[in-house]
Structure 1
Amino acid sequence: MPTIVFLHAHPDDEASQTSGAMARAVSEGSRVVVVYATNGDHGESPDDLAEGESLVDRRRDEAERSAQAIGTHRIVWLGYADSGMSGWEQNSHDGAFASAPLEEAAARFAAVLDEEDADIAVGYDWHGGYGHPDHVKVHQVLHRGAELAARPPRLLESTMNRDAMRQFAAAAAAAGQEGFDPDQPMDDGNPLGTPEAEIHWQVDVSDFLGTRRKALEAHASQTSDVGMMLGMPDDVFAAFFGREHYIEPGREPGMAPGWPFGA
């Protein structure tokens, strides 16, 4: 079974984006490692922090709980600070992931790939799904880190299916619910995710919806995004989180249902 290393920008990104594939891979006997580029220090700060407890402390604890829910074998922190959204002054702060030298960050990631002798490395599409500076940097570090690895792994890029998102938005509008427009400019001015024609893999993770929910619940401090996801009715949650989508660089065009995480 392969060793798979997932690179995520912030603690909680694994829960919302790849926790289904992670749990499925664990269930099939793969070794699964999650690498967090940042400590998530610009996330939401909960009201119940204990004396002496920082937001970073809480988010590290939540990442551990998510790993326990998923079955993740190892957590690694690259050691960078959260860069905030596009245009925030934090983008250029010392220690921010977005402003870190690419060679430095990629070398840190490559060291993990070498330690694990990774077969597969997973990050994000070219604009990180919605343009967040840290997500964009994950894409860059994924590719450069794989080049620096002693044994370059096979690469997969997690993305959101823009065409499917349009269908979700239309169904929500038809049901009289407040919807969203996946074609509107996101954090970097580009629309959400990737057109289906540019996606290679649709991965069925519907058997792991319970695990996905537990992974999200682990990140309880992030009430806006995680709370919205956990507030979905069961049927909507299943439709939204029952499939994950991945780009495989260099693969012939065309999306197909399948499991790209096998041996």
Structure 2
Amino acid sequence: MSDRPLTLLAVHAHPDDEVTSTGGVLAKYAAQGVTTIVVTCTDGRCGDGPNGVKPGDPGHDPEAVVATRRRELEASCAALKVSHLETLGYHDSGMMGWDTNDAPGSFWATPVDVAAQRLAALIEKYQPDVVLTYDENGGYGHPDHIQVHRVTMAAVELAKPAKVYMSAMPRSMMVKVGERMREMGIGLDGPAAEDAPPMGWEDEDITTRIDVSDVIDQKFDALSAHASQGDGAFFLSLGRETFSLVMGVESFVKVGDSADGNETDLFN
């Protein structure tokens, strides 16, 4: 029997994505002695600049945003006790339909097989027991998240890790978030709006739920590290107690093998 520690590798699109869907499991398993690796595929250059300035607006310096988000990513991974951080360095593709989708060097414009070979090399290097990725829609349709799914699935065909899971936000969770927003008087639009099409997975399709309430403070601190971005502001505004109620369970769908929906450990 090998005495090599169990190993978990999570593939993400941008700096800060490592927290929202997998920050809890990264911290939880790191505390148990599991080797944890975060692979961040893009540099986040289409994120917010100082004072929330958006790409293309005066004052948005993509290279400065990249540098800031790299520092924040490192701080976040430190809070989660991540063992190794790997970055592929592709350019952030921006939201679907932006000109940046097709810009040279963007992740969306990169052939899947090219990026998959790079990711497969990391899988072969670290030999993870579990790989985490997104679902086919990338959770909410962002091109870089969709590309993460495509690239990861192509890479695992090449490197064949033991188990693969997709992050899966249950619809009941989305409902809970919407309720909290209404209670707080926060305006609802986009995916949070009452008349928007349902997002997330049907609860009965979730195969795996991991209770991360014991490391929720680390998850909160890791999200706080990404201070330059407004994406996590709502969750942080909940305060630690409500944040724990909303974000204290991370859910996944196991790829390939069937599961009965009662799995509570990624390494079972």
Alignment counterpart, residue 209 of structure 1, candidates 216, 241, 253: 216
Deviations 1:43-92 (A, max 9, x none): 0112599x9x7111111111111111111011111121001111111111
State whether residues 5 and 33 of structure 1, in contact with CA within 8 Å, keep that contact through their aligned partners in structure 2: yes
Alignment counterpart, residue 165 of structure 2, candidates 153, 156, 169: 156
**Which residue identity is paired with 2:170?**
N
After TM superposition, give the deviation of residue 261 of structure 1 in Å: 3.4
Alignment counterpart, residue 75 of structure 1, candidates 69, 77, 85: 85
Alignment of 1:1-263 (within 5 A): 1-46=5-50, 54-149=64-159, 151-170=160-179, 172-173=181-182, 178-179=187-188, 180-181=192-193, 184-185=196-197, 191-222=198-229, 224-252=230-258, 254-256=260-262, 258-261=264-267
Deviations 1:112-145 (A, max 9, x none): 0011112111111111111100001111111110
3-state SS of paired residue (2:204): helix
d(CA) in 2 for partners of 1:254, 1:233:
34
d(CA) in 1 for partners of 2:239, 2:23:
19
Gaps of 5+ in 2: 53-58
**Which residue identity is paired with 1:166?**
V
Deviations 1:149-176 (A, max 9, x none): 1x43310111211123224434654676
3-state SS of paired residue (2:140): coil
State whether residues 198 and 254 of structure 1, in contact with CA within 8 Å, keep that contact through their aligned partners in structure 2: no
- Scaled by the length of structure 2, what TM-score is found? 0.87
Root mean square deviation, CA, Å: 2.4
- Scaled by the length of structure 1, what TM-score is found? 0.89
3-state SS of paired residue (2:232): helix
Change in Cα spacing, 1:87 to 1:182, as seen in structure 2 (3 Å) is farther
State whether residues 130 and 266 of structure 2, in contact with CA within 8 Å, keep that contact through their aligned partners in structure 1: no
The aligned counterpart of 1:188 is none
After TM superposition, give the deviation of residue 194 of structure 1 in Å: 1.4
3-state SS of paired residue (1:79): strand
Gaps of 5+ in 1: 186-190
Moved more, 233-242 or 166-175: 166-175
State whether residues 7 and 35 of structure 2, in contact with CA within 8 Å, keep that contact through their aligned partners in structure 1: yes
d(CA) in 1 for partners of 2:243, 2:25:
16
3-state SS of paired residue (2:50): coil
State whether residues 173 and 246 of structure 2, in contact with CA within 8 Å, keep that contact through their aligned partners in structure 1: no
After TM superposition, give the deviation of residue 260 of structure 1 in Å: 1.3
State whether residues 182 and 192 of structure 1, in contact with CA within 8 Å, keep that contact through their aligned partners in structure 2: no
